[in-house]
Structures are given as structure tokens and as C-alpha cells.
Amino acid sequence: MLKVRVIPTLLYKDVGLVKGTGFNSWRRVGSAMPAIKVYNTRDVDELILMDISATVDGREPDFDAIAELAEECFVPLTVGGGVRDIEAVRLLLRAGADKVTVNSAAYARPELITEAALRFGSQCVVATIDAVKTGDRYVCHSHAAKQSTHQHPAEWAQRLEQLGAGEILIQSVERDGTLQGYDLDLIKCVTEAVSIPVIASGGAGTYQHMHEALTQAGASAVAAAAMFHFTEQTPAQAKAFLAALGVPVRDSQRVA
Amino acid sequence: MSVLIVDYGMGNLASVRRALEECGANAFISDNPADLSDCSHILLPGVGAFSDAMQRLQQGGWVEPLRRIVCDENIPLLGICLGMQLLADVGEEGGIHPGLGIIPGRVVRLQPVANERIPHVGWNSVAHRQHELFDGVPVNSDVYFVHSYHFIPADAEDIRATTPYCGHFVSAVGRGAAFGTQFHPEKSSRHGLRILRNFLTWRGEAAGLTNSEEQTPRFVRPPVRSYRA
């Protein structure tokens, strides 16, 4: 049976790891390399590595830095931030990324998703959606949530699937860093709109939150950052918790 | 032993090389088919689309040398993910395209059952048959997958493992000196590294390849549903 994935997200800015709240007030949480090594030793299901300032600063991903980090990473690695063209996708895969995530660039040039899927296969194209809630309506934002796009996340997710994306990473901007729980309505509207896997992100604070995103909102994977950076909770314990509630996780006999 | 990693412009070569080195191999990345004479093992990686990959293998001059060295000279080859699929006769991704034709079979899109999502991404179990490459790997161990297409071998004897998704699909194939895994051993933690280590000491099996005198069966219909490991 396919197992659900528990995915630590590492956000970096310059060379340091950071974590914020609502895509703002970034706190430094250390350097990237030791974190990658720890997660590698702990044998996590997958890792997401996101350069949060590349697009805003108008620069390319730092391919050399990513290659160095990927060297130490034996678990599946998704890399994003600043991916504007097919060449950046190619160079990230070459640097050691297993999957590449595209966000802002897809609004300006949706064909980028199709080009990347045709060249490298849908399975390595992860489309990220940053959703902001205004009243009771969700709107997709680009450029580290600084610009509104007027797209609805469910409609945009469907479009991304049609364009060739292999996975959707749905992030709630309000819940980001709050530890208050995932925005289940947001995640559910996206999982119901597409037939590709959806990774829930933004707001995880407890293992119970992860359970809700997987069982109530239909996510295939749960990503978390602040919960793993700032609390005692770990991916392995998250999986033990989920296994005890009957959710299929990898190596449940070992973590339980 | 020395492992040649085929560089045809696709895929994540660095992590494959690193994983092989971790297993004690001397691994080198090459875009020159002439280097095939200098290696004891071949690794065919691949992230990408079938048609594009075959075109690049052709442009790079790999197709005939790979067939010859694996089928006639019995040099062990491990194909990973798309690299496994390329071993087939035919791929259906992005139109109908001929593959390397080293293991008879066809590569088709996964057909989801109930509310299964495609691509098949994440950790899933492998029910494998006895084979040297799976030595020390318990049956139903979890390994890492990320794909939308799967290999249907023409000859059920070539099936080495199946995985429960979309019914059951074939997650490893083997014939003669050619072996393929739909999952990524280089990203599959200790079980994956064990498979790579096993590959390094594997000498391939002499009989039964496409270039042998015996006529091999061509693709007829999917044998997958009837097979249970």
C-alpha cells in the first residue's frame, strides 16, 4: 500500500535556514547543511528545500549551494524558489533535486509546466500554490505571497494538472508558522479538484493536525516546518502517531 | 569494479553516483559510448519522458552499443525508473516509441483504481521473487517511487517484483544481464543501498536475452493481473 509522507520543509534565505509566520517576520533557525544531515540520518520520507527570496530578489536558484546540500541527502529531495525557465529545472535536477517546484513563474507563463513535464516527466514537476484567505474566499498569491493573482486555488490546481504538473503543494499563507493546524477547507477544495497527489502545507502544530489533513482533507502528504524547528516533535514520532490511528506509514513496525 | 552511469542529458546523476560510491563502487558518469569497454557494470538512470530519452540515447550513439554489451557480452546493467522502462520494446508515453528492446515488453500509463492518484509518488512495498539483487531485502520492504507509467513484460518470467498500486504493477524486471527497478534504490534508504550493493557483485545471467538465437516471445497481453509474488 502507498504510504502517506511526512515531509519537513526547509526554507532558506542566503545560506541560512529561516522560518517565519504568514510568510513574514523571518527568524534564523540555523544553517542548512546540519539540518539536511540530521533529516538524512533520521531517514525522513522526503525533504522540501525552498529558497524563499530568489523570486522576490529576481535571481536564479543558487545551483552550487543546492548541489552541495544534495550531496549529503539520500532521501528524496524537492527543490524550489526562483525557478523561472526550463533551464533552471534542468540545472536543479542535475544538482541533485529529484523534483522541482514551480510557483510564481507558472502564472506568468503556464507553458513552463508543460515544457518541464514533457522534457523531464510530470512526476518531477511539483506546482506550489500559495493561497491567501480574504473573507471566505481564497486567492492564489505569487512572489512569496506578495502579489495577488485573482486565481482561485482549486481552479488553478486543475489548470496546473492539465498543464502537466505531477503534484500540488498547497500552502496556506495565514496558517504559515502559526502551529494552529492546516486550513482543511483549503486543502480539501484542492484535493477534490485534482487527481494528482496533494501535499498539505502551512499551520501544522501537532500530529493530530497531520492526521486531519490526511484523513479529512484527502492530502497524500503533509509538510511541516515550524513544528519540527521549534517544538520537540519529530517526523518519526508523527509517523508512529499516524500508524497507531491506522494511517499507512513507511516502516511502521520500526517507528511504532 | 567500475560502474558507468549513462549520461544522456536527463535525470539526477549526482545522487546515483553518490549512492554507488557509498556502496564502495568506482562510479563514473559518461556521455561517450566508447567508455562502455572500460566498465564492469552499467547504470541507466532516468528522470524524464520516454520519447525524449530514447531520442537522446539515439543522438548520443548509445542504443546499439548498449544492446550489444548487455545482450551479447553479458555486462550487468541496472535501469532505474525511466531507465528500467527504456529496456522495453515499446513505450506509450508521448506517442508510441520504440525502446531499447533489451527486455521484451511495453510501457503503459498506470490505470488508477478507485481514488488512487497518478503519479504514484512516495513509499510503497515490493513483493519480490528470489533474486541476487534482492538478497537481504525483506519481502514487502518500502522503497521510493515517483512515476506515471509502468513496464508490462511480455514474458512473466522476467517479472522480479510487483507493487500494490493500480491493482499490482511490475516494480522490477530482470532478464539475463539486464535488471530494472521502477523505484529509486538511490533514494530508498537502507533497502535501496542494499540493492545497489548487490548489483555491484552481480555477474548477470547468461541465458535468454533478445539477441540470443532462441526467438523471444513478443508482447501479447499484460500478464500482470494473474501474477502474485
pLDDT per position in chain B (229 positions), as tens? Answer: 799 999 988 767 888 998 999 999 999 999 999 999 999 999 999 878 898 899 999 999 999 999 999 999 999 999 999 999 999 999 998 889 999 999 999 999 999 998 899 999 999 999 999 999 999 999 999 999 999 999 999 999 999 999 999 999 999 999 999 999 999 999 998 999 999 999 999 998 754 444 433 444 443 334 444 333 3
**Angle subtended at Cα B202 by Cα B181 and Cα B27, rounded to the nearest 5 degrees:** 75
CATH number at residue B167: 3.40.50.880
CB atoms within 10 A of CB B115: 8
Q: Which cell is B218 given?
A: 513478443
pLDDT tens per residue across span B17-44: 989 999 999 999 999 999 999 999 999 9
Longest dimension (CA), chain B: 49
Say whether B33 sits in a helix, a strand or coil. Answer: helix
Could you tell me the CA-to-CA distances from B69 to A166, B20, B77, B88, B177 in Å, in that order? Answer: 35, 21, 9, 16, 9
* C-beta of residue B107 within 8 angstroms of C-beta of residue B90: yes
Pairwise CB contact (< 8 Å): A46 & B184: no
Q: Count the helices and strands in chain A (H runs, E runs).
A: 12, 12
* Residues of chain A above pLDDT 90, percent: 66
Q: Which cell is A209 given?
A: 493536525
Best interface-test mutation with A: which of B107, B123, B195 has the largest number of A CBs within 10 A? Answer: B123
CB atoms within 10 A of CB A135: 5
Examine the residue annotation and report whether B97 is marked as an active-site residue of this protein. no
Q: Where are chain A's structural domains?
A: 5-248
Of B14, B48, B125, the CB nearest to A67: B14
pLDDT tens per residue across span A85-105: 999 999 998 888 999 999 999
Please report the ipTM that was assigned to this predicted complex: 0.91
Rounded distance between C-alpha atoms, residue A204 and residue A128, angstroms: 17
Chain B positions touching A43 (Cβ under 8 A) are: 189-190
What are the phi and psi torsion angles at B30 (to 5°)? -135, 140
Say whether A229 sits in a helix, a strand or coil. Answer: helix
Rounded distance between C-alpha atoms, residue A21 and residue A19, angstroms: 7
User: Which residue among the candidates B120, B128, B186, B191 is catalytic per the annotation?
Assistant: B186
Residues near A205 by beta carbon (within 8 Å), at least 6 away in sequence: A178, A179, A180, A181, A226, A227, A231
Distance (Å) from the alpha carbon of A180 to chain B's nearest alpha carbon: 26
Interface membership of A192 toward B (CB under 8 Å): no
To the nearest whole number, what is the mean pLDDT of chain A? 91
Give residue B203's identity as a one-letter amino acid code.
Answer: R
Say whether B53 sits in a helix, a strand or coil. Answer: helix
User: Which residue among the candidates B81, B93, B147, B150 is catalytic per the annotation?
Assistant: B81
Host H or E run for residue A16: strand A16-21
* C-beta of residue A164 within 8 angstroms of C-beta of residue A194: no
Pairwise CB contact (< 8 Å): B146 & A123: yes
Pairwise CB contact (< 8 Å): B14 & A121: no
Q: Average of pLDDT values for A128-150? A: 93
* C-beta of residue B139 within 8 angstroms of C-beta of residue B66: no
**Which pairing describes strands B41-44 and B2-6: parallel, antiparallel, or unpaired?**
parallel
Interface membership of A168 toward B (CB under 8 Å): no
Domain count across chain B? 1
* Residue of B225 and A35 predicted with greater confidence: A35
* Residues of chain A above pLDDT 70, percent: 98
Q: Chain B: residue nearest A75 by CA? A: B187
Using the structure block, give the residue that is written with the C-alpha cell 506515471: B148
Q: Which cell is B4 given?
A: 558507468
What are the phi and psi torsion angles at A248 (to 5°)? -70, 120
Distance (Å) from the alpha carbon of B217 to chain A's nearest alpha carbon: 30
Distance (Å) from the alpha carbon of B204 to chain A's nearest alpha carbon: 27
Reference B202, options B78, B36, B20; nearest CA is: B78
Say whether A78 sits in a helix, a strand or coil. Answer: strand
Say whether B125 sits in a helix, a strand or coil. Answer: strand
Q: Which cell is B155 given?
A: 514474458
**Confidence (pLDDT) at A15:** 63
Examine the residue annotation and report whether B39 is marked as an active-site residue of this protein. no
Categorize the per-residue pLDDT at A197 as very low, low, confident or very high, splitting at 50, 70 and 90.
Answer: very high
Examine the residue annotation and report whether B166 is marked as an active-site residue of this protein. no
CB atoms within 10 A of CB A43: 16
Of B48, B116, B119, the CB nearest to A120: B48
Size of interface A-B (CB pairs under 8 A): 112
* C-beta of residue A21 within 8 angstroms of C-beta of residue A32: no
Ranges of H-type helices in chain A = 32-41, 54-57, 63-71, 86-95, 104-108, 111-120, 153-163, 184-193, 207-215, 226-230, 235-244, 252-255
CATH code assigned to A5-248: 3.20.20.70
Of A43, A119, A197, the CB nearest to B48: A119
* Residues of chain B above pLDDT 90, percent: 78
**Confidence (pLDDT) at B214:** 40
Give residue B48's identity as a one-letter amino acid code.
Answer: G
Could you tell me the CA-to-CA distances from B130 to A160, B79, B135, B136, B160 in Å, in that order? Answer: 42, 19, 8, 10, 8
Pairwise CB contact (< 8 Å): B11 & A93: yes
Q: Which residues of B16-41 are buried (b: 16+ CB within 10 A; e: fewer)?
A: bbbbbeebebebebbeebebbeebeb
Chain A positions touching B165 (Cβ under 8 A) are: 2
